[in-house]
Chain A
Amino acid sequence: MSAPTRTPAGAPSAVGGPGGRIGDDARRPDGVLKVRGEFAYGSDLWMDDMLWGVTLRSPHPYARIRSIDVGPALAVPGVHAVLTSDDVPGEKVYGLELADQPVLAFDVVRYQGEPVALVAADHPDTARRAAARIVVDYDVWEPVTDARVALGHPTWNQVHDSPAEVTELSRESADLHPHGNLVRHLKVRRGAPAPTADVVVVGEYEVGMQDQAFLGPESGLAVPGEDGGVDLYVATQWLHVDQRQICAALALPPERVRLTLAGVGGAFGGREDLSMHVHACLLALHTGKPVKMSYNREESFFGHVHRHPATMRYEHGATRDGDLVYVKAEIYFDGGAYASSTPAVVGNGGTMGIGPYVVPNVHVDCYGAYTNNPPCGAMRGFGSVQTAFAYEAQMDALAAELGMDPVELRCRNAMEQGSTTPTGQVVDSPAPVVELLRRLEAMPMPPAVPTGDDVDLRDMPGGVSNTTHGEGVRRGVGYAVAYKNVAFSEGFDDYSTARVRLEVVGGEAVATVHTAAAEVGQGLVTVEQQIARTELGVEQVVVHPKDTAVGSAGSTSASRQTYVTGGAVKAACEAVRGQVLELAQRGVGRPVADLRLDGGKVVSDVEGIALPLADVLGEEVVEETVEWRHRPTESIDPETGQGFAHVQYAFSAHRAVVDVDVELGLVKVVEMACTQDVGKAINPQAVIGQIQGGTAQGLGLAVMEEILVRDGRVQNPSFTDYLIPTVLDMPPMRVEILEYADPHAPYGLRGVGEAPNISSGPAVLAAIRQATGLPLTRVPVRPEHVTGT
């Protein structure tokens, strides 16, 4: 029946093979291991004498903790420790931007799934059973589950012709936190305060809560050190910001909290906040033993932040010719119980919330609120995904109102280099919005809706579930364009550190690149090798394990690592190269003109010199560590939102072609086409991969991905009911990559990962609207919305 399982004898080396400079489709050093199932992820961490840690979580979205009795859990044989907030030696709250989230809940729990207590035991099942015996006495409160209600704001009544209502809050819900329920209110005020226009389009939109849905659950292993510190191996996104927060909670200095990146199975923003990090360290320090924690799938849904749900009201005014006169927008992000990165999400949503268009008059109010829903924070596209659904729907609605072609309307108002953004920032590098759209338009269309007896069910809405052979199927085509800031904004000191070493190993010059930049699957390890090969002219480049023994690389988020850590590696390589060329000239005994490193040699074409690098280096080890920053941004004016907030923009556009079974409300996306300006494709194959993945994630939000929350409780914490696209949902793609260099960025590159995630979903929605003739103002679109049931 089934073949015996074989384990291959030798796992391939983690060192990248030959070739692979800037611009090449270099192979990933971890690619073979991952394809063969041999790559060690965080959940594979193991030590023989380790304990297993588990978390007891609140069953209530909002409650006061009267008491916690850990006695029954401690009495379970095999249990080594049971800890509560009282056992946290340092700061009892943590957070990325605001420290407001308890390491372990004390006094109050503010969301379902909030960690309350920890258990370490010699077997995970023992730990789980013991955790279930902890007695927590809750005084259950009524949760506040609507962002506008939490802020005491009236419901919108401009579209629905009824009086505004303000919902009264209970005493507890009026202030989830001591500073109230408002996390941030961002205002953009530009142009006339009360503009008027020939044609006005108003719309209200809602985006549901998307999950990052990474496959590798939150996992790590904490090992107590002999110095009273701890070594934590963890799958994460930003080692140093983890370290800072762990140090504060443990009351330990950084040199005693050492982090090493474990294998990361996807992140998409969901690992930027702490999950089991402090918990495992607490248990390890308390028991003196290594402690492993690894969430199961259900716990994972409670163990990380999600994408902010949003409700948005937009008003677009234009001339009869189709020139945008003004945009007013009111945007609410539901941040859930704790701040996480809500302030920065509000920053993106507010500053870029009208899309890549030139608008003389802009009035935006963007709010982030606390509620008792699951905490929301970073996810790919970060505040721009939600608004793109709204502003692109508005552009289509405006085009319909004007009787214009939607692409024409977009091109007429498109941002270009030299344009001024709503925050008063002049776009100082290429912004090829028009070209992205025109190239999409020029692409051939996929074949028409299949009909007749020979339809392949896999081409139909519903797939092999056999719900239509063509009956009720209508085709639609939709366009969307988006832009996104790359790297951290609003004055954040955004830097990365790279240490590069060049030495002779076994007679060959080998470069080692050491950064703390988390490889989460995106391929930064490949890019680091490509840069070192390019700058140092060597073949062999070792990527040192990612850890806190080197300075911070910043977060693997905001499409920033190829730009910022790439920039740091480039700069460190340049410093190393300078020293090597110095050595070479010392060897020659005089300055040599036009000296460079190439093909493992120190070369001067002008002087006809080609010295083997191994000879030049000899016993020397050349090492340089560089801290590298992109040009600074500045915080925006709190009253007007004006300021140089963003260092770079990424632009992408999509055309979606869909077939909708309008009777059953089922959707088949037939084709996704994408154009994106990447400045310079450091690794074209990886760029295509990012575009395909980002497109799939955007498509998922458009038609299926949503964490359903009712009364503060998650209804579908599993991959049975939280659906992500399969191969029958995500169609083949046409992709065209533009490379207009950004003169401010290393190699002219632009961050790639997020933009396609932003423009994909709105294009799908536009196509479904065209196919159905329905307004469809909420995503994900469900069959009920299409069928009116």
Chain B
Amino acid sequence: MQFLQPATWAEALEAKAAHRDAVPIAGGTDVMVGINFGRLRPALLLDLTRVADLRQWDTDDGAVRLGAGVPYARVITELGDRLPGLAMAARTIGSPQIRNRGTVGGNLATASPAGDAHPALLAAGAEVEVASVRGTRTIPVTEFYRGVKRSALADDELIAAVRITPPSGPQQYSKIGTRNAMVIAVAAFGLALHPARRAVGTGIGSAAPTPRRAPAAEEFLAGELDGLWDSRAELPAATAARFGELVAAAAAPIDDVRGTARYRVHALSVMARRALTWAWLDYRKGDPTCA
């Protein structure tokens, strides 16, 4: 097994162009598990941890540009106010050790339907900035996931950053696991209220071949909230319940060792209903974030 350690982003992109089968490694929380279990035997590992640019975040035209190599622990401590939904997702990930190593870029690159960051990214309407020696392009996260552990990334491309516009309203994130910490999602749900554009964002995890939105639920809720954004009036319980049903209806889960399809659908309806209830309460209190 060969091991490349580029020191700069340009070197990393050249290396990836020259060795398209190279497996990029950042935190290693997915790659090393695959190698240790004998499921992954890359001819070449491309270590990105020396590339300083990847480990930084910045604000750019109002949006947060989150370097692909920023670990979850820093998302929580440094960006909890700006990216509340993603920070809530990050808190549910693994153990402190995993959160110190694992990165949002790695989560995207693996593109597992169970990746914890995805529902938050979907709800927030994030964009993925990818690059190669050919240049840089931006992919809306909704178009990034292409199948089970498949993404829109070309074989010479690396993920540079994620761009997320800080929310104009509350965000929520919930995840089901069969223990109270350090668990892979049985089902997960991300919600973002966007009062500035009078829109609703959703994200579903672990309940379809890819992470996905629940467009019908988003449209329904945006319609219901049309008269409520300004009045900040109480949200009818029936609206929250219907929203939950529509989120659940957007899922296409399977039975596996972690849970049954029926449970996943049920759990999504409960999570979505509760998340909306909490988010709306926060909105009524005028609290833009709730992280």
Contact = CB atoms under 8 A, between A and B. Distances in A.
Interface string B142-182: 00000000000000000000000000000011111111111
Main secondary structure of the interface of B (DSSP, over half): mixed
A708 interface: yes
Contacts, number: 105
A463 B181 contact: yes
A465 B257 contact: no
Contacts of B38: 128, 296, 298
Contacts of A472: 270
A465 B180 contact: yes
B204 to A, nearest CB: 15
A787 B265 CA distance: 12
Interface stretch (A391-399, A519-527, A623-631, A717-725): A717-725
A298 B37 contact: yes
B38 to A, nearest CB: 7
B84 to A, nearest CB: 11
B172 A726 contact: no
Interface residues of B, number: 35
B139 to A, nearest CB: 28
Contact of B181 (A464, A715, A787): A464
A361 to B, nearest CB: 41
How large, as a class, is the contact surface on chain A? Answer: 35 or more
B174 A465 contact: yes
A715 B262 contact: no
Nearest to B277: A471
Contact of B176 (A464, A467, A471): A467
Given A298-B37, A708-B257, A716-B257, A466 B184 contact: no
A466 B274 CA distance: 10
Nearest to B1: A125
Given A296-B36, A466-B175, A467-B271, A720 B180 contact: no
A461 B180 contact: yes
A789 B257 contact: no
A672 to B, nearest CB: 15
A472 B184 CA distance: 23
B229 interface: no
Contacts of A725: 179
Nearest to A663: B270
Interface in A452-507: 458, 461-469, 471-472
A720 B257 CA distance: 11
Contacts of A789: 260, 262-263, 265-266
Given A464-B92, A467-B274, A665-B263, A783 B176 contact: yes
B175 A467 contact: yes
B267 A783 contact: yes
Contact of B173 (A466, A468, A723): A466
A704 interface: yes
B278 interface: yes
A295 B282 CA distance: 51
B284 interface: no
A727 interface: yes
Interface string A293-325: 000111000000000000000000000000000
7 contacts: A467-B271, A471-B274, A664-B270, A664-B271, A666-B176, A666-B178, A787-B263
Interface of B: 33, 36-38, 88, 91-92, 172-184, 186, 257-260, 262-263, 265-267, 270-271, 274, 277-278
Interface of A: 128, 296-298, 458, 461-469, 471-472, 663-666, 668, 703-704, 708, 715-716, 718, 720-721, 723, 725-729, 782-784, 787, 789
